Amino acid sequence: MISWINGEFVELWQTNQKFFVLINCQGLGYEIQILESLFLKLKTNQKSNKYITLWIKHIKKEDSDLLFGFTSKDQKNFFIEILSIRGVGSQIGMGILNKFSISEVISAIKTQNKKLICSVPGIGQKMSDRLILELKSKFKSQLQFEEEKVNDNFKIKDPEINKIMEDLQLSLQSLNYKNKEINTILPILIKEADLLSEKENNLSFENLLKLAMNYLDKDSSNLAR
């Protein structure tokens, strides 16, 4: 069983939507499938990447041995959890981690965002239902921790504002904004909601959604410059 590997970076290549690295470890060349984010990072800094450490998941088949490499143990363990779900293969697992961070997947499970899960190539409606159901059970304690963490951070006491914030997050996710981006503007939206609630009939979901999109689109345009 190979748990992790540390070796000399030799070569990178891409085959369709699969990304590979070749590592020389004590005279043996290990061909390892990696995530696109690591592939792009290594490609950008090929000259400075002499040695690489990867957490490995080894999948043995009748006609081949496959190695999948991750930069963190959490990524590896999450990949293993995904593979334990009936009908989900290694390429679906890599596809999920190529498209989303672990926290984004957990958030999608919590909110039952099937549209987000179905955006991964190879995942249909039935598989997304199965993924959400089984991963929700597997990550029950982590989902509860994330919920408590959000409540502690923002302390939304008004039930009306709390419901609006939940609806806003779901709407923004469905519009393909990333959870990391959404979380950065939540304190601004909550403060704005508090101010609007003090004025009669001025608190509305539509106004807050427009405000959120303005902030997010402004941040995106600044990053593009």
- Every domain of the chain and the residues it spans: 4-71, 73-139, 156-225
Do residues 125 and 114 lie in contact, with contact meaning Cβ atoms separated by under 8 Å?
yes
Dump pLDDT digits (tens) for 169-222.
878 877 777 777 888 788 788 777 777 666 555 667 788 888 888 888 765 555
**pLDDT > 70: what percent of the chain?**
82
Q: What is the pLDDT of residue 224?
A: 46
The span from the CA of 223 to the CA of 28, in Å, is 42
The predicted model scores a pTM of 0.62
Q: At residue 151, does pLDDT exceed 60?
A: no
pLDDT category of residue 67 using cuts at 50, 70 and 90: very high
What are the tens digits of pLDDT across the range 88-118?
Answer: 899 999 999 998 888 788 888 878 888 888 9
CA atoms within 13 A on the CB side of 108: 27
Q: 21, 42 in Cβ contact below 8 A? A: yes
Give 193-225 as a DSSP string.
HHHHHHSTT---HHHHHHHHHHHHHHHHHHHH-
pLDDT at 82 over 80: yes
What is the pLDDT, as a whole number, of residue 215?
Answer: 82
Question: What's the CATH number of domain 73-139, 3.90.470.20, 3.40.50.2000, 1.10.150.20, 3.30.470.20?
Answer: 1.10.150.20
Give the SS3 label for residue 85.
coil
DSSP labels for 93-135?
A: HHHHHHHS-HHHHHHHHHTT-HHHHHTSTT--HHHHHHHHHHH
Least confident of 40-44, 77-81, 167-171: 167-171
Average pLDDT over residues 25-40: 92
> Residue 150's pLDDT is what?
46
4-71 has CATH 2.40.50.140 classification: yes
